[in-house]
Structure 1
Amino acid sequence: MDFEFWNNCWVKPTQPFHLTKPHHFLTEYFSGYFADKKRVLLPLCGKTQDLNFLANNGIKAVGVEFNPRAVESFFEDSQLTPEITSFDNKARYQATNIEVWLSDFFNIHQDDIGQFQAIFDRAALVALPPEMRSEYAKHLLSFLAPQGRLLLVTMDYNVEQMSGPPFYIDKTEIAQLFPNTHIKQLARASIIQSHPRWRELELSRLDEVLYEIHLKTV
């Protein structure tokens, strides 16, 4: 991952990948996939309002984010004063029903955060270059409980018009990244009008695609 690129992104006041409200797929599929869960994992969470949405609905939201500006901005914007515990190369920020780990995602393990019945990857996989995706997918699945569900959001666009990030990822690649799983497309939505940056690019299409992924039983 280009850490400098993302650090520069977080310096800017607005970003097309950051939403000021919970993600529409999270709210739309909340009752079917998240409402009965005690804890939900949000990898590479930035300063997403998904954390607050889950917490306000009585669910422990656990996020992992490597950029300190994003983590600190989340708590400032949310008017929350977290309890901070530092470890080797990582720190845990805790508030009511919210736990955010400031760390490289690959430095977080089950011993730190356990397993989850639900994971919501809204903007993590699509932020990673091809050479990092396989390792990321394997690491992500290590946090998924045997009967759990991963809801994954990908981006669909004409690669001749934009190179990413966010990167184009189709179902064929998802099947390669997540072997021994069942993969189902749940929804598709155009976001081409959601931010001035996307409109400036004059893309022919820009869709978010939501997949449900769960482990195959032996």
Structure 2
Amino acid sequence: MDFEFWNNCWVKPTQPFHLTKPHHFLTEYFDQYFADKERVLLPLCGKTQDLNFLAQNGINVIGVEFNPRAVESFFADSKLTPEVTSFDNKTRYQTSSIEVWMADFFNINQDDIGHFQAIFDRAALVALPPKMRPDYAKHLISFLAPQGRLLLVTMDYDAEQMSGPPFYIDKAEIEELFPNTEIKQLARTSIIQSHPRWRELELSRLDEVLYEIQLKTV
């Protein structure tokens, strides 16, 4: 992970990958995939409003984010005062229903946060360069409980027109990254008009694609 790149991104007042409201796939599929879950994991969560949306809907939400500026901005912007605990190069920010771990995601394990019936990866996998994705996918899926669901958002565009991040990831790569799983495309939507930065690039297309990933039963 390029810490300097993402830190520079968070310094800017706006970024195309940060939304000021909950992600539309999360709100659209909340009732089907999240409403009955006690806990939900958001990897590489930044300062997403998905945390507040889930908490306000009765979910105990756990986020993991390595950038301190993003974590501190989330709690400041949300006017929340968390309890802060640090140990083993990890810092946990905790309120009654929101828990954010400021740490390298690879240093977080099941002893820290347990397993989940629902995981929402909105902007984590697409932020990682190819060489990091296999290890990330293996680590991420280790937090998924049996019969649980990982909802993964990817980006689809002409890779000759933009190099990323966010990186182009197709279904074939997802199948390689998550073996022994059942993968289904749930939705696709164009976001090319959603931010000035995307419009400046003059891409022929820029779609978000939502996949459902479930461990195969033995």
Deviations 1:22-72 (A, max 9, x none): 000000000000000000000000000000000000000100000000000
1:109 deviates by 0.2
For the pair 1:187 / 2:187, whether they are aligned, the reply is yes
Alignment partner of 1:175: what SS?
helix
For the pair 1:199 / 2:199, whether they are aligned, the reply is yes
Deviations 1:128-166 (A, max 9, x none): 000000000000011000110000000000011100000
TM-score by length of 1: 1.00
Q: Distance in 1 between matches of 2:208 and 2:168?
A: 10
Gaps of 5+ in 1: none
Q: Distance in 2 between matches of 1:102 and 1:2?
A: 16
Q: Distance in 2 between matches of 1:207 and 1:96?
A: 35
Alignment partner of 1:74: what SS?
helix
Q: How does 1:2-151 map to 2 (within 5 A)?
A: 2-151=2-151
Q: Distance in 2 between matches of 1:129 and 1:163?
A: 10
Q: Distance in 2 between matches of 1:109 and 1:11?
A: 29
State the one-letter code of the partner of 1:93.
Y
Alignment partner of 1:194: what SS?
coil
For the pair 1:214 / 2:199, whether they are aligned, the reply is no
Q: How many residues align?
A: 218
Q: Distance in 1 between matches of 2:25 and 2:51?
A: 14
Q: Distance in 1 between matches of 2:88 and 2:135?
A: 22
1:88 deviates by 1.4
State the one-letter code of the partner of 2:192.
I
State the one-letter code of the partner of 1:35.
A
Runs of 4+ displaced beyond 4 Å: none
Alignment partner of 1:204: what SS?
coil
1:3 deviates by 1.1
For the pair 1:163 / 2:163, whether they are aligned, the reply is yes
Q: Distance in 2 between matches of 1:129 and 1:69?
A: 22
Deviations 1:79-127 (A, max 9, x none): 0000000011110000121000000000000000000000000000000
Q: Distance in 1 between matches of 2:80 and 2:194?
A: 28
State the one-letter code of the partner of 1:114.
G
Alignment partner of 2:192: what SS?
coil
Alignment partner of 1:137: what SS?
helix
Over the residues paired in the alignment, what is the CA RMSD in angstroms? Answer: 0.4
State the one-letter code of the partner of 1:203.
L
1:210 deviates by 0.1
Alignment partner of 1:209: what SS?
strand
Alignment partner of 1:112: what SS?
helix
Alignment partner of 2:25: what SS?
helix
